[in-house]
Structure 1
Amino acid sequence: MLHSLSKIARTALAAAALIAMQTPAQAEPHMQHSPLVIGHRGASGYRPEHTLESYALAIEQGADFIEPDLVLTKDKHMIARHEPMIGATTDVASHPEFAGRKTKRMVDGVEYDDWFASNFTLAEIKTLRAVQARAGRDTQYDGLFRIPTLDEVIALAKSQSRQTGRGIGIYPEIKHSTYHATLKNAQGRLAFGGHYFEDRLLKTLHKAYGNSSCAPVFIQSFEVGNLQYLSKKTHIRLVQLVDADDVNADGSLSLVPPYRQPYDFVVNGDARTFGDLVTEQGLAFVAGYADAIGPWKPYLVKTVADGVDRDGDGNITVNDRRVDGSTGVIETAHDKGLLVHTWTFRNDAGGYGFADPREEMTYYFDLGVDGLFTDFADTGVAARDASVNAGEAGHLKQCGRRHKSFHKGRYKD
């Protein structure tokens, strides 16, 4: 398996050089499945996250989309890392030549003492290797895989689409837009500037896929202003992510900084919380600039900690919560014309109300989510196959609609 994945990664590296020679009109296989299984950071339950090998395994397991979280390097390249801080996901700490790069910096109101991608050139990033970020997972691949650029992820998705005959999409997330827009370099000048990240991303995606709502692409963000900006510049589908800190015993969501609000709301003095975005009024607001809502799964299903040991293992955990059913967010979002993609489903953690991860994912598919993110794409595919909604093509009905007639303020020809 390792040999074959490395071969796929090498193929993607070679294919990245050909992206500039391709035109968006070149046909790619269409999506064959619905609801969607989205490989969260690839197959991060099995391989170090955000590596070509992790993405390739997710595709092999049947994922419809792979998700590259994006940050910027010092020389303005988009690379796949979950955060601007790279200490936990790479072997940078073992590189003595970079010991002096560790620094303290504020990200979304929280101070981190870490190594930051924006202090490294792409060439330096390529000397690092990825490591497993979550405790308890397989570490045998630590130090083997490189950190990919967005171009390399696109090349992998395109080459695997052609080789497998099924459409493989990408689901990039703009990480910490306000942080990147306001970051200053050693000379005190803006390192990137306002909307540099968004413009760079659109230039790359339009070149690779065209400016189309039928492109196999979703752009996601926890911030709002960057999505509103993008909505006036692209037909590519946009997703508003919705976060929270924890789930209270009664099933309500705990909203504590930095998980209380989109960070651009904090900066701009907007009092609305993430929870406000999934009310009927909030969903109508989101529908004005986005195509989908991406809430953390406890927003969609109410679960209550009532002290009952439902799985009989002698320990009461989040898996033992009583499942009270849909909160109505899915139904209201659909009524507003929004797709619902929820996250994150893991075989080894966070099964609110469910001890069996496949059963949990099938439950959400049965409720009507249009897609879900999982670290274990093979389990996600099995869960979808078991769902009453397997094979439904609801998400495809939205493809190609004219945004100017559906969303006020959306990109116009």
Structure 2
Amino acid sequence: DFTLEELKSLRVKQRYSFRDQQYNGKFSIITFEEFISIALDAPRVVGIYPEIKNPVFINQRVKWSNGKKFEDIFVETLKKYGYEGSYLSKKWLKQPAFIQSFAPTSLTYISNQTDLPKIFLIDDTTIPTQDTNQSFWEITSDHYLDYIKEYVVGIGPWKDNLVTASNNYLQTPTDLVARAHAHNFQVHPYTFRNENQFLHFNFSEDPYNEYDYWIKKIGVDGLFTDFTGSLHRYQEWTSPFLSSEKDAYNLLDKIVAMIFKVQAHLVLFFT
């Protein structure tokens, strides 16, 4: 019920009181296209992971011309900016993008419009799907995974659905990751946060221990995090490729330094 101009008059505020509040009121809400431009204007390849958010609610209240739906506008916007290609294809690697949604009908609907990889988000065990009213147990059954794999490349479950917790201690992992991998699915759980309020006691208040557990022990393929810097730092610390790359740069620096040193001696010799 608001125009874009009216929405732009609002200012963003940090919702968690225990996080940095110094930017409250300084920034306006950005549009989807403005979000995309941030990635495209970067000096390197930056992927995006947009969500088709609450499509049932939006389609009930917003009517587009020519009978289009929210999902149509969403895909058209991605295509407008060159996002296309199946997972790991040359086109996709040029401008990587995953599409995520809690609504399975949205994911099946857009499957005929774009071959971009799609991730089916899975809510808490007590919350049914917003569009089909299916239970957690139904949508995580092998039968349903067989069905949905025709449309998605993976699932994005709430992390406590993969490993339940009791008194803030993690319990025995469920078999959902193993079954998802058996269906050749990616598994991208959410949401990882650095603050102690969100860390289980198993990790001794260390988010890097949490990353290590989920990536190495549970075997997930990706993570949703509020703290991309810490996850990137973990990746730098643990990736053999990045370590080798660093070693190569260090070696190159040493070679350059040696060359300059030799040149300096030659200059002194001939002077």
In 2: Cα distance, 1:390 partner to 1:240 partner: 30
Question: Which structure: larger Rg?
Answer: 2
Matched, 1:374 2:225: yes
SS in 2 for 1:170: coil
Correspondence list, 1:7-406, <5 A: 119-160=1-42, 163=43, 165=44, 167-183=45-61, 190=63, 196-213=69-86, 214=92, 215-244=95-124, 253=125, 255=126, 260-266=127-133, 272-305=134-167, 318=168, 321-324=169-172, 326-348=173-195, 349-352=197-200, 353-354=202-203, 355-366=205-216, 367-387=218-238
Q: Identity, % of aligned pairs?
A: 35
Between 1:204-213 and 1:234-243, the stretch displaced more is 204-213
Offset of residue 144 of structure 1: 0.4
Residues 122-169 of structure 1 show CA distances to partners (whole Å, capped at 9, x for unaligned) of 112222211111221111111101211111111110111xx1x3x211
Deviation at 1:302, TM superposition (A): 3.6
CA distance in 1, matches of 2:52, 2:61: 15
The AA in structure 2 aligned to 1:340 is V
Q: Which has the higher strand share?
A: 1
TM norm structure 1: 0.52
TM-score between both structures, scaled by the size of structure 2: 0.78
Task: State the alpha-carbon separation in 2 of the partners of residues 265 and 358 from structure 1.
Answer: 37
Deviations 1:273-319 (A, max 9, x none): 123222322322221211110000012224343xxxxxxxxxxxx2x
How many equivalent residue pairs?
231
Structure 2 unaligned blocks of 5 or more: 87-91, 243-271
Larger mean Cα displacement after TM superposition, 193-202 or 151-160: 193-202
Alpha-carbon offset, residue 363 of structure 1: 1.0
Amino acid of the structure 1 residue aligned with 2:155: I
Shift of 1:171: 0.7
**Shift of residue 237 of structure 1?**
0.9
Work out the CA distance in 1 between the residues paired with 2:20 and 2:67.
39
Distance 2:130 2:68 in 1: 15
Structure 1: stretches of 5+ with no match in the other structure: 1-118, 185-189, 245-252, 267-271, 306-317, 392-413
CA offset digits 1:103-134 (Å, max 9, x no partner):
xxxxxxxxxxxxxxxx2111122222111112
Tell me how far 1:219 sits from its aligned partner: 0.9
Looking at structure 2, the residues matched to 154 and 363 of structure 1 have their Cα atoms a distance apart, in angstroms, of: 32
The CA RMSD over aligned residues, in Å, is 2.3
Separation in 2 of the partners of 1:329 and 1:207?
Answer: 36
SS of aligned partner of 2:224: strand
Name the CA distance, whole Å, in 1 between partners of 2:156 and 2:75: 20
Q: Is the 8 A contact 1:128 1:146 kept in 2?
A: yes
Of structures 1 and 2, the one with the larger relative CO (CA 8 A, separation 6+) is 1
Partner secondary structure for residue 118 of structure 2: strand
Q: Tell me which amino acid in the other structure corresponds to 1:275.
A: W
